[in-house]
Amino acid sequence: MTKSDTVIKKPEAVRMKCLIIAAGKGSRLRQNGTCKPLTPILGIPLIERVIRSALEAGVDGFYVVTGYQGGCVHAFLNRLSDRLGIPITPIVNEDWKKENGLSVLKAQKYLREPFLLLMADHLFDPVIARELMRLPLSDGEIILGVDGDTRNSLIDMEDVTRVKTQGDRLRNIGKGLTDFNGFDTGIFLCTPSIFGALERCRQEYGDTALTGAVRLLAAEDRVKAINIGGYFVIDVDDAAAFRRAENALLANLRDKPSDGPVSHHLNRPLSVRISRRLVNYPLTPNQISLFSFLCSVLAAGLFSLGSYATLLLGGLLAQFASVIDGCDGEVARLKFQSSHYGGWVDAVLDRYADAFLLFGLTWHAYANKTDSLILLIGFLAIIGSFMLSYTADKYDNLMRDRISHGKGLRLGRDLRVFLMFLGAIFNQPYLTLVVLAVVMNIETIRRVIICRDHG
């Protein structure tokens, strides 16, 4: 389950097959897992992250070349194929200890049309592969995604394969290049010409590395180089790169344009830390959403008991629930379990939670001072809460650019719950209700006017 993230319509994806190289031993990553392709990163094995990213880019079938611990990898791929409902064909490379070009050659009889070539240990933004797959490819050419950011903090300068490009053409490639202006991402769009280049490279130079074949094609001006434009990509080759990849994936969770100020500065940094742990357990996003909702209900019950101690405890629990409320979407994104239905159900639970919290706060204020005006203010606070949520989608879509650039303040659930938390701390439940009733209803009216003028 995930939050109701903004859905951007994309052009229809190009469909093609994908070859993934997953034969190596990965000895430098041994402290994180005994089998490199199956090493989990934030709860999902490396090979599965690569496959799911390629699926999102438009791939409709996979060939995976295996070697070290091939039996375990094959068994996992068979289960993954059943789960995802896509064909995944394992290919065995008995010479997996040798250069990776031999792994590519093992797929020659399976691939007669252009295909995407990926590495099992290279995580990437699906946009990169999607854009490569849409590019025109002449017969006999290949295209390499190149990271032109030579200061990229995710790059291991000691191990990265460097490239020299000129315009959109690759001129040279190799780890030892001193004259370079980019890095090899390990993401290729290939024609079957790559197989011929590998054979020639092996026969003429005794070189069985993929890099050697790419260098040969580059010398014949048959390699296009496309700058990936700052999109996320990382080679998870050792423990240090593993940590960088984890941090980069988690940092991506914080860039949600619909987050309000409290979410952005307080809730999200905390929820990401919690989600980092939760992904290692068999918890579903639905269960996390339900837990957050139950915490809010319990907080509302504490509000209604009438004492300052229970009011304070309820405020703390409500704010805790607000933090946990971000974890369901984060876990869903990290574990590829997002769904439109999940986001919708989560939004429904949030509305129920808001009603319970505001009613509990109203009950507390009314019990301490029997005044019918308190009931009216509480009612207006609940109505304002619902209407603010109801108007959120249209307003967020209209004002997305301003909000994402920090030019607009988004008043959302995060701020609403935080005000209740502050009201509980300072023992001001009635004042909190007044502020919420006034601010949320005025904001709703403002949104209606803005949407009328701009929609």
pLDDT band for position 189 (cuts 50, 70, 90): very high
Q: Rounded to the nearest 5°, which phi and psi values hold at 412?
A: -130, -165
Q: What is the pLDDT of residue 405?
A: 47
For 334-370, how does the pLDDT look when each residue is reduced to its tens digit (9 = 90+)?
A: 999 989 999 999 999 999 999 999 999 999 999 988 8
Q: What separation in angstroms does the CA of 402 have from each of 24, 67, 128, 407, 453?
A: 47, 50, 26, 5, 16
181 SS3 class: coil
Q: What is the pLDDT of residue 408?
A: 56
For 237-264, how does the pLDDT look when each residue is reduced to its tens digit (9 = 90+)?
A: 999 999 999 999 999 888 777 788 899 8
The separation between CA 409 and the C-alpha centre of its own chain, rounded to angstroms, equals: 24
List, in order of start, the domains of the chain with CATH numbers. Answer: 16-245 (3.90.550.10), 257-454 (1.20.120.1760)
**In angstroms, rounded to a whole number, what is the distance separating the alpha carbons of residues 256 and 19?**
32
- Looking at per-residue pLDDT, the higher value among 365 and 412 belongs to 365
Helix axes 268-278, 308-324, angle to 10 degrees: 70
Q: Percentage of the chain with pLDDT > 90?
A: 78
